[in-house]
Amino acid sequence: SIWLHVLFGVTWIGLLYYFNFVQVPALADALADEGGPGPAAIGKYVAPRALLWFRMAAAATWLTGAWALSISPQYGFINTFLFQAPAGAMMSLGAWMGTIMLFNVWVLIWPNQKRALGIVECDPDLKAKSAKTAMLFSRTNTLLSLPMLFSMVAAQNLY
């Protein structure tokens, strides 16, 4: 159970870092390269597939984490989210950050990415605004990822 959570989490965070540190700069370079192939290959073929894996890894990470908490006598699902787990608040903090990150993926990043990538048609102004919103919340998740990981590792290893 915990190993599936870790596997899905590594996939989710790995893709998060890929988007923020590889794909976004590569798209900017592709847009600036007048003689190159342009960003269509990434935006049309790579990004939608990577975003599918990203969303599924986020959901699988959260679900396996919730399941692991629910069967844990040390934490418990409800106790963890209410900051009442006997093992301390670190797991609670990490679980809440992971939940916020999941919300960002499904409610803020994905709907905006669909417009930014042209999967859902919209006017150019909304497309540009959606790209900025998706990037903002993707960067937010990147910033949350380190304290979230620290909280979960600390909860397992320091207490």
> What tens digit of pLDDT does each residue of 103-143 get?
999 999 999 999 999 999 999 999 999 999 999 999 999 99
pLDDT band at 159 (very low <50, low <70, confident <90, very high): low
- Model pLDDT for residues 61-118, shown as the tens digit of each residue: 999 999 999 999 989 999 999 999 877 899 999 999 999 999 999 999 999 999 999 9
> pLDDT grade, residue 48 (50/70/90)?
very high
pTM score:
0.92
* pLDDT for residue 55: 98
Torsion of Cα atoms, 85 then 16 then 21 then 148, to 10°: 0
Look at residues 59, 45, 47, 49 and name the one whose alpha carbon lies nearest to residue 20: 47
Answer whether residue 39 shows pLDDT above 80: no
Tokens of 78: 């409800």
DSSP label of 86: T
Sequence-distant (6+) residues with CB within 8 A of 92 are 80, 81, 82, 83, 85
